[in-house]
Amino acid sequence: PQTSPLSCSPSPMRGPLLAAAGGAMGGAGGPLARTIRAKLTAALQPTHLEVRDDSPRHGGPPGAETHFGVLVVSGLFAGLPLLQRHRLVHEALRAELAGPLHALQVIARTPEQWQSDPRAPPAPPCLGGSKRDKRRG
């Protein structure tokens, strides 16, 4: 069983995804965070949405905005297998994923699923990734 993130009494704005970030996110986030939020809201009409900037945990400088996690709760996911749900999220963020967005953790649930299980796993820790790629140019 997964461990729940620390969260005694979550405020309405901070669900488990953000709580797991341990307060690393400040305020509304940077420009990319706001873009992600706006695009996912427009595309998926979520009943619940959390956007978490994981970039600081991957060695980026503050404000790098390269690695994100999103938790999207939307009725549009009903009847869709996980792969299709994730593709919908990717489609909404196609331009960003072709550009600065390097990694995206996605949790996509229907409102019913979210109600029965309002928890989100944390992102796995960074292990260096492309920074170890000598051929990177």
Partner 1 sequence: VVVFMKGSPAQPLCGFSNAVVQILRLHGVEDYRAHDVLQDPDLRQGIKNYSNWPTIPQVYLNGEFVGGCDILLQMHQNGDLVEELKKLGIRSALLDAEKDKEKK
The residue ranges that bind partner 1 (CB under 8 A) are: 2, 82-83, 86-87, 90, 97-98, 101-107, 121, 123-130, 132-133, 135
φ, ψ dihedrals at 18, nearest 5°: -75, -35
Place of tokens 């009725």: 75
Cβ proximity of 107 and 72 under 8 Å: yes
Distance, in Å, from the CA atom of 84 to the CA atom of 89, rounded to the nearest integer, reads: 9
Distance in Å, CB of 58 to partner 1, minimum? 8
β partners of residue 73: 48, 109
Distance in Å, CB of 46 to partner 1, minimum? 17
- Nearer of residues 7 and 105 to partner 1, judged by Cβ: 105
Distance in Å, CB of 130 to partner 1, minimum? 7
Pick from 67, 51, 124: nearest CA to 101: 67
Distance, in Å, from the CA atom of 84 to the CA atom of 35, rounded to the nearest integer, reads: 22
Distance in Å, CB of 30 to partner 1, minimum? 20
Q: Which residues contact 123 (CB under 8 A, 6 or more apart)?
A: 20, 52, 54, 57, 67, 69, 105
Distance in Å, CB of 32 to partner 1, minimum? 15
- Nearer of residues 12 and 117 to partner 1, judged by Cβ: 117
